[in-house]
């Protein structure tokens, strides 16, 4: 057991590479656990991270939004709410159990990468982390539009652009 028994949503925010790199659902879960348990070894932290990585894996491999929703509902969190139902009363909650289902719903109710991010921000709460989680799933499902990618790259300095291009000077 590690000294940090965290269950914060940072666990889910940092596992996108697991869902993208894995070649199977089992490998996704294994990679997610290995990445997460170092800093968030509470069962809820591991669950939130795994749910996120699994959504990314499913999205990357062509699952429908309905299939992703059903998998999350059957294996992780009840997806029996809408963003409209929670928007007025949702408050800041940095736990996995209090923000990962909402982040996943922001993706499930979206029709594009940008819409997913907007959905996440619209509920408030820990919106930057919720948007990071929703956006990582949306990127695997929709891709990032070239216009947004180019605008984001404009904020990087030469050193960071070099790192992105594979140079490590």
Q: Which of 68-72, 90-94, 140-144, 165-169 has the lowest mean pLDDT?
A: 165-169
For residue 109, give the nearest of 138, 88, 143 by alpha carbon.
Answer: 138
CA distances from 91 to 125, 134, 135 (A): 5, 17, 20
Residue 121, token pair as written in the block: 């921000």
d(CA 137, CA 144): 11
Q: Which two tokens stand for residue 124?
A: 């408030």
The residue-averaged pLDDT of 81-109 equals 95
* pLDDT for residue 3: 56
pLDDT at 77 > cutoff 70: yes
Least confident of 1-5, 106-110, 156-160: 1-5
Retrieve residue 7's tokens. Answer: 């269950």
Average pLDDT score over residue span 1-10 = 70
Are 71 and 53 in contact by the 8 Å Cβ rule? The answer is no
Q: How confident is the model at residue 40 (pLDDT cuts 50, 70, 90)?
A: confident
Q: 3-state class of 124 per DSSP?
A: coil
With cut-offs at 50, 70 and 90, classify the pLDDT of residue 169: low
Q: What is the pLDDT of the chain when averaged over all its residues?
A: 93
Please compute the mean of the pLDDT values over residues 110-115 and round it to a whole number.
Answer: 98
- What SS3 state is found at 95? strand
Provide mean pLDDT across the span 111-137. 97
Q: How would you class 128 by CB atoms within 10 Å of its CB: exposed for 0-12, middle for 13-18, buried for 19 or more?
A: exposed
Read off the pLDDT band of 4 (50, 70, 90).
low
Per DSSP, 23 falls in state S
In which element (H, E) is residue 131 found? Answer: helix 127-142
């Amino acid at each position: 057991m590690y000294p940090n028994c965290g269950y914060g949503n940072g666990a889910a925010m940092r596992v996108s590479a697991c869902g993208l790199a894995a070649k199977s659902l089992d490998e996704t879960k294994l990679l997610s656990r290995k990445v997460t348990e170092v800093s968030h070894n509470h069962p809820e932290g591991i669950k939130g991270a795994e749910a996120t990585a699994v959504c990314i894996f499913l999205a990357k491999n062509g699952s429908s939004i309905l299939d992703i929703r059903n998998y999350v509902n059957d294996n992780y969190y009840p997806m029996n709410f809408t963003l409209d139902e929670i928007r007025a009363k949702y408050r800041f909650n940095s736990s996995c159990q209090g923000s990962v289902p909402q982040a996943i719903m922001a993706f499930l109710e979206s029709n594009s990468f940008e819409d997913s991010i907007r959905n996440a921000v619209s509920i408030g709460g820990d919106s930057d982390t919720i948007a990071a989680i929703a956006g990582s799933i949306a990127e695997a499902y929709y891709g990032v539009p070239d216009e947004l990618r180019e605008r984001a790259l404009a904020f990087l300095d030469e050193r960071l652009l070099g790192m992105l291009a594979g140079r490590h000077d």
